[in-house]
Structure formats: C-alpha cells, structure tokens
Structure 1
Amino acid sequence: MAFPSKLLNEGEHVVVSTRTHAKALILPGLGVLVALALALFVGGLVDSSAVTIAVWVLFLAVVVWFVVGPFLRWLTTTYTFTNRRFIKRSGFIAKEGRTIPLNRISGVDFEIGVIDRIFGCGTLVVSDASTDGRVELYDIPDVEQVQLQVSHELHRLSGGDRRDDGT
C-alpha cells in the first residue's frame, strides 16, 4: 500500500508503510460463521416466512456490523514512517490522522506475543516527548523489520555520528 505522494512534503520519502496484519479479521469472520450457523438453525426450526425473513435480515446486520465495519477499518488504516515523520491515517468517509515528527520520537520498541509469533506480527511502540507519551500499533506485520528500519532512520536523522554504547 503506497502512501499518496501528494501528501508528502518536498524532499520527503516513505521509509515504511504498513497496515495491521490481516489476523485482525479472523474474529469477525468467526462471528459471521456463528451467526450463519444460528440463522440456518433458527430458519430450519420455523415454518413462518416472516420469521425466516427476520432471521436473514438480522444475519445481514451481523455481517455488516462484524465484517464490513472491521474490514473497512483495516483497509483504511495505515501507518507510515517517512524520513521526517510518523503518520497514522484512518477512515473512509470521516478521516482521522496523527503525525509525529521523527525528531520528537525518543524510541521505537516492539513486543511479540505467542500468537503474534505464529502470525508473524507484533506490537510496535512509538515513544515520543508529547503528553500522550506513546503510540501502540497493534498487529504490525514483520514488526522486527519495521522497528529496525525506523530505528535506522532515527539514527540517520540524529546525525549517525553519535555512539550508542554511552562512550
């Protein structure tokens, strides 16, 4: 997913652009399967066409609520690191964004749980000097590589001459 170049400043380029891992859609998918099983079961129990129609309308509402909503959130939420800033954008109709200049970021860490390891993703923790303090980006694919690329860019931005061993 390419970040729109029209939203970049002159001389700015994308270092990493990603979105949440597709594993975020597993639970909504399971919810629809359960709703489908219930709709088929209840639809098979009743002989009334009005009740059957109501069951399927309810099923469609569940699909919209548990699948379409999360899918659109997943599809429209991106996390981008450029050589100058971190950008979080989300929304299809109503848009929301957050930008943190790279020079304000004090650290980029990652956390990988057991389930995350199975799926190849993890949580990226971006710490900054603001009152919010940190931004947690859950279920980032290849989180270790993303953290490495962002850390490299932070090091490059700071001049790259500073030694990291404290001497």
Structure 2
Amino acid sequence: MAYPDKLLADDEEVVRHLHPHWLTVFWPVVFFLVLVGAGSFGAALIPAGSNQGVYRLVIAVAVVLLAVVFVAVPLLRWRTTHYVITTHRVLYRVGILSRTGRDIGLSRITDVSYKQSLWERMINSGTVTIETAGESGATVWSAIPDSDAVQQLLNHVVEEDADRRAQESAGYLGQYYRGDTGPVPPRR
C-alpha cells in the first residue's frame, strides 16, 4: 500500500518511504533489556515479609515508567517519523501526539546534498540536506539509511519531474496554438 493514500494525488506514486536509521532505536532496546533485567533482579532481592508485595509493586511501577519514557517514546518517535519521496514531491511527517509536516514540490528543489561521518559511513547512514527555492530554507533529514543513494534518488526524481513538466508544457502549448486537443505532431 502507498504511504497514506489520502496525501497523494491521483497520478502520484511513492518512490521511497523511509524512517530514521534503525540504530536510532538500538539504545532504547538495549535500555529495555537492562531495565527488565535490573527490575527482575531487584524484585528477587526483596526479602520475604509483609511488605514484599508493596516493594515489588514499587519496583514494577518504576520499571514501567522508565520503559515508557526511555523506550516507548523513542520507538514511537522512530515509527511516526516518515521521509517520503514521491513522483511529484517530498514529504516529511513527524510526531506522536502532535504532528509536524512539510511538503516540498520537486520543482522547488534546487540542491540535494548528503553528509556522513566516519561512523555513519560504517553503518550506512547520514544526513540529507534539501535546498529549495524560496524563503523557507534548507530541510535537513537526519539519520537517513543509505543517505548517498537517497541523495542520488532525489536528484533523479527532480530531473524526471522537470522532464515531465517540460513535456506537459510543450503538449499544452501545441494544443493551445493549434486550437485542438490532439497530440502535437513532430516538426519536419
């Protein structure tokens, strides 16, 4: 299924749909494993007695609260961050409860670059910067998997969009000057 169909135009198709690199959720998963282990160990150390159940409940509540803050929120943030490249535009959506989004028409993109540190090169991640015409400034996508390929893909779809627009414009102008709706014959 395409990204959310309600966001796409009739003739628009998703070329690539990305989330941040999977390593952005690595440490929350490690923290969850450590948290469960520490919570279980702590609950096992509680000596038998009349308050044993209360102390174990306190430990369980603390583990759940820490898991929500340091595990569930980062996982949800990763899952709800969307970088979408379509045949007509680039979409960026982020947010769990409140949402932020930006759509950039391919015709407005003037430059696409990427940057990788040594570590990012090793894990095949990076930052993609999209420069646009207008006053809104650059759009920066961080922790993009395979960022160099994404940069090349963006350049490719921008060129295809420019070619598509030029063909549509040439066809429209030919119909306008000839006064019909048929295809424009080739020049001889």
TM bucket by the smaller chain?
0.7 to 0.9
Provide the rounded CA distance (Å) in 2 between the counterparts of 1:6 and 1:71.
25
What do residues 3-56 of structure 1 show as CA deviations (whole Å, max 9, x unaligned)? Answer: 123321132222222111211101112222333344244334433332221111
| Residue of structure 2 in register with 1:152 after alignment | 156
**What is the letter of the counterpart of residue 114 of structure 1?**
L
What do residues 135-166 of structure 1 show as CA deviations (whole Å, max 9, x unaligned)? Answer: 22112122121111110121233349xxxxxx
| Residue of structure 2 in register with 1:15 after alignment | 15
Provide the rounded CA distance (Å) in 2 between the counterparts of 1:101 and 1:142.
22
SS of 1:79's equivalent in the other structure is strand
Provide the rounded CA distance (Å) in 1 between the counterparts of 2:71 and 2:130.
29
150-159 or 14-23, which deviates more? 150-159
Alignment check: 8 A CA contact 1:85 1:102 kept? yes
Alignment check: 8 A CA contact 2:91 2:102 kept? yes
What do residues 44-90 of structure 1 show as CA deviations (whole Å, max 9, x unaligned)? Answer: 44333322211111101111111211111211221112222111123
Rg larger for: 2
Provide the rounded CA distance (Å) in 1 between the counterparts of 2:118 and 2:70.
25
Please, what TM-score do these two structures have when normalized by structure 2?
0.74
SS of 2:2's equivalent in the other structure is coil
Number of aligned positions between the proteins: 160
**What is the letter of the counterpart of residue 12 of structure 1?**
E
Provide the rounded CA distance (Å) in 1 between the counterparts of 2:114 and 2:5.
28
SS of 2:121's equivalent in the other structure is helix
Correspondence list, 1:1-167, <5 A? 2-47=2-47, 48-159=52-163
Provide the rounded CA distance (Å) in 1 between the counterparts of 2:63 and 2:82.
30
Give the CA deviation at 1:93: 4.8
Provide the rounded CA distance (Å) in 1 between the counterparts of 2:141 and 2:28.
19
Identity in percent: 30
Please, what TM-score do these two structures have when normalized by structure 1?
0.82
Structure having greater relative contact order (Cα 8 Å, sep ≥ 6): 1
Provide the alpha-carbon RMSD of the alignment. Answer: 2.3
62-71 or 6-15, which deviates more? 6-15
| Residue of structure 1 in register with 2:167 after alignment | none
Provide the rounded CA distance (Å) in 2 between the counterparts of 1:92 and 1:35.
23
Provide the rounded CA distance (Å) in 2 between the counterparts of 1:7 and 1:42.
49
Alignment check: 8 A CA contact 2:28 2:74 kept? yes
Provide the rounded CA distance (Å) in 2 between the counterparts of 1:4 and 1:46.
50
What do residues 76-126 of structure 1 show as CA deviations (whole Å, max 9, x unaligned)? Answer: 221112222111123455433211122222211111222222322211111
Provide the rounded CA distance (Å) in 1 between the counterparts of 2:153 and 2:85.
9
**What is the letter of the counterpart of residue 128 of structure 1?**
T
**What is the letter of the counterpart of residue 15 of structure 1?**
V
